[in-house]
Amino acid sequence: MGFPEKLYELRKARGLSQEKLAEALGVSRQAVSKWEGGQATPDTDKLLAISTYFGVSLDALLKEDIRTDVSRETPPESTQGTDRRRNALGLGLIAAGLVCLAAWALAMVLRPEAAEVLSESSMVTIDGGGILLGLCAAAVVCGIVLLLRKK
């Protein structure tokens, strides 16, 4: 399957008209029609834009022996939102954990008896300070994991 067929397949799989794809790429509808009809080939910058827009490699677009799997292609817009939310959650967890750890350290410096009060008020037999520190550390670790985790 050549580039024209692959472009057509990718466009149809997304439910896009030639007009909508042309808008997204900053070209005319006639240019998209010529590309799909094999009458013209896009310039390098447009090939890169097509590759980015559909989330496929240039190899997958241009090489005859590589077939694009349109069923697993996802629009970049949907993954960007998920990545941003995950990054924001990760940063929030890290910040919350670090703030709690800093507050705990400050409380221990200014009021060393606070550890005893926390331990006595805890319903768990484990030291209350240890629980708090463990939760803070867990928040920081979870935040780091969310930031470092790939899709």
pLDDT tens for 103-143 read: 877 877 787 776 666 666 655 555 566 677 777 888 888 88
What is this structure's pTM? Answer: 0.45
Cβ burial, residue 6 (10 Å; 0-12/13-18/19+) = buried
pLDDT, tens digit (0-9, with 9 covering 90-100), for 6-62: 989 999 988 999 999 999 899 999 999 999 998 998 998 899 999 888 888 888 888
- 133 lies in the same domain as 93: yes
- The CATH number covering residue 26 comes to 1.10.260.40
Of the three residues 62, 91, 111, the one that is the final residue of a domain is 62
Is residue 135 helix, strand or coil? Answer: helix
Rounded distance between C-alpha atoms, residue 94 and residue 138, angstroms:
9
Task: Pick the closest to residue 5 from 57, 52, 60, 74 (CA basis).
Answer: 60
